[in-house]
Amino acid sequence: MELTPTAEDAAFRIAARDWLLANRPSDPAPRDGQASRDYATRWLATCHAAGWSGLAWPTDYGGQGLSAARLMLWYEEYVRARAPSTLDCTFVALNHAGPTIIARGTEAQKAFHLPRILEGRSIWCQGFSEPGAGSDLAALRTTGRVEGDELVVNGQKIWSSYADIADYQELLIRTEPGASRHKGLSWVICDMTLPGITVRPIANMAGVTHFAEVFYDDVRIPLENVVGELHDGWSVAMTTLAFERRTAALALQLELSVKVEDLIAMADAAPGSATAERLADLRAEAAGLRAMTWRTALREPATPFDGSLMRLTFAELAQSIHRAAMDVLGPAGLVDSHWSYDYLESYSETIAGGAAEIQRNIIAERILGLPREPRP
């Protein structure tokens, strides 16, 4: 087992650092709306022009094909340089839709979408959840009826992040009437400008508008927009699980180490005080998360469901750090600041992308082998 950079690794790290420090935006990111899109796409275009986009994508598709270790070095430099959060409106395209199309898309889909994604020219959102299908995603009911060479889509999605500013949506719908739960679904590329689509933005508890409800009223989508086989959408939706340990979520995990350092600097706690003890715990846990991040990224073969351990550790640590920040701030926490904003945002961490309870079920059942939950 080794964690020592070679001379080339060290040179890569320095090149990344120099570039990031010279090119990171100096103005803060707008929190929502078109301005947030413009900011994110400008930054992605800047990265792309300098050869720093699509780092984990294969070179055949315009990516850089970086090794896991190089990716980690990049993201460590990225968070230390305080480059813009990777969890912006480009996240779904770069880390989910793009990799899915690479794995399962047609040549035409690849040729059209992949360059647009890498250059920051198209923004994607994810339309999986529905009012009746959250944790139980397979309960989804939005339908696509095959009519000639089109799918006619009717139904409703919810919590679709950045749907208000996205060009495309990865849409998971039921295309085979009567098929049971995980069967008969299709993963479809939905152009958000199609007639029959209504987007209703929903404000969140942090006071910004990041997600939306999307209604589909006889929306006609060409069948050629299906990714993978028709009715095989569940397996397409699961494709990216293999890619997950190489996504920009790495940056979010590593960023917690930076946040803890900021918090320690802000708190200036007396040695031995209760606050100092709490900060020491957070610092140690951030180090633990970083060690887990490295190991999960590098270990071969990947251990299945490690993602749940990673994701849950991240989510709960993010919340602890921000709770501590609010306690350190005292009355000042009542006034808007990046800490109080991030504190409120952190409530989503144990809900979005698989709630904490669901992750604990997965860990207990799939990693530890305890009996499965009853299923419908």
Partner 1 sequence: MSFDLTPGEDLRQILDAAQSMLDSHYPVARLRDGGADGLDPLVDFGAFLLALPEKEGGAGFSVVEEAQLHVAFGRHLVTTTALATAIARRIEPEAVAAAGVVDGDRWLAIAPRDASHILARTDEGFVFAKMGAQSDVVPFGASRPMARIVPPPDHRRADRETDHTACLLVAAQLLGVAIGARDLAVDHARTREQFGRPIGSFQAVKHHAADMALGIEMVSALLDTAAIALRDGHESVGFQIAALVRIAPRVALETARAGIQIHGGIGFSAEADAHHFLKQAHILRQFIGTYDMLQDPAPLAPYGKDVS
CB 312 → partner 1: shortest distance, Å?
A: 6
Residues in contact with ligand FAD by CB under 6 A are: 125-129, 134-135, 159-161, 211, 348, 351-353, 355, 357-358, 361, 373
> Where do we find the tokens 């055949």?
60
Give the integer Cα–Cα distance in Å for 114 and 176: 29
Kindly state whether residue 292 participates in binding partner 1, applying the rule CB under 8 A. yes
CB atoms within 10 A of CB 218: 10
Tell me which of ligand FAD, partner 1, none is bound by residue 164, counting a contact when its beta carbon lies within the kind-specific cut-off of 5 to 8 angstroms: none
CB 158 → ligand FAD: shortest distance, Å?
A: 7
Nearer to partner 1, 187 or 294 (CB): 294
CB 134 → ligand FAD: shortest distance, Å?
A: 2
The residue nearest ligand FAD at its CB is 134
φ and ψ at 374, to 5 degrees?
-60, 140
**Is position 147 annotated as part of the catalytic site?**
no
CB 272 → partner 1: shortest distance, Å?
A: 10
Give the integer Cα–Cα distance in Å for 364 and 347: 23
Bridge partners, residue 231, by sequence: none
Q: Which of 125, 111, 120 is nearest to 61 (CA)?
A: 111
**CB contact set of 336 (below 8 Å; sequence gap of 6+):** none
Give the integer Cα–Cα distance in Å for 211 and 53: 25
Contact 40, 99 (CB under 8 A): no
CB 125 → ligand FAD: shortest distance, Å?
A: 6
Applying the rule CB under 8 A, the residues between 16 and 35 that interact with partner 1 are 17, 21
CB 68 → partner 1: shortest distance, Å?
A: 8
Write the binding mask 58 to 77 for partner 1: x where contact by CB under 8 A, - elsewhere. ---------xxx--x---x-
Distances (CA, A) of 106 to 131, 224, 263: 31, 9, 47
Q: What angle do CA 241, 50, 259 make, to 5 degrees?
A: 60
Give the integer Cα–Cα distance in Å for 113 and 101: 8
Tell me which of partner 1, ligand FAD, none is bound by residue 300, counting a contact when its beta carbon lies within the kind-specific cut-off of 5 to 8 angstroms: partner 1
Bridge partners, residue 147, by sequence: 150
CB 308 → partner 1: shortest distance, Å?
A: 9
Of 119-127, 146-154, 279-287, 327-335, the segment contacting partner 1 by CB under 8 A is 279-287
Kindly state whether residue 39 participates in binding partner 1, applying the rule CB under 8 A. no
Nearer to ligand FAD, 147 or 357 (CB): 357
- Residue 236 buriedness (CB in 10 A; 0-12 / 13-18 / 19+): buried
Applying the rule CB under 8 A, the residues between 294 and 313 that interact with partner 1 are 294-295, 298-300, 306, 309, 312-313
Tell me which of partner 1, ligand FAD, none is bound by residue 13, counting a contact when its beta carbon lies within the kind-specific cut-off of 5 to 8 angstroms: none
Kindly state whether residue 136 participates in binding partner 1, applying the rule CB under 8 A. no
Buried b / exposed e along 171-198 (16+ C-beta atoms within 10 A): bbbbbbeeeeeeebbbbbbbebeeeebe
Nearer to partner 1, 106 or 361 (CB): 361
Give the integer Cα–Cα distance in Å for 7 and 12: 9
Q: Tally the C-alpha atoms within 13 A of residue 247's C-alpha that lie toward its C-beta.
A: 24
Applying the rule CB under 8 A, the residues between 311 and 370 that interact with partner 1 are 312-313, 357, 359-361, 363-365, 367-370
H or E element: which one contains 250? Answer: helix 249-267
Count of chain residues binding partner 1 (CB under 8 A): 63
- Annotated catalytic residue within 119, 150, 244, 316: 244
User: What are the catalytic residues?
Assistant: 244
Residues at the site binding partner 1, with contacts judged by CB under 8 A: 1-6, 9, 17, 21, 67-69, 72, 76, 79-82, 254, 257-258, 260-262, 264, 271, 276, 279-281, 283-292, 294-295, 298-300, 306, 309, 312-313, 357, 359-361, 363-365, 367-373
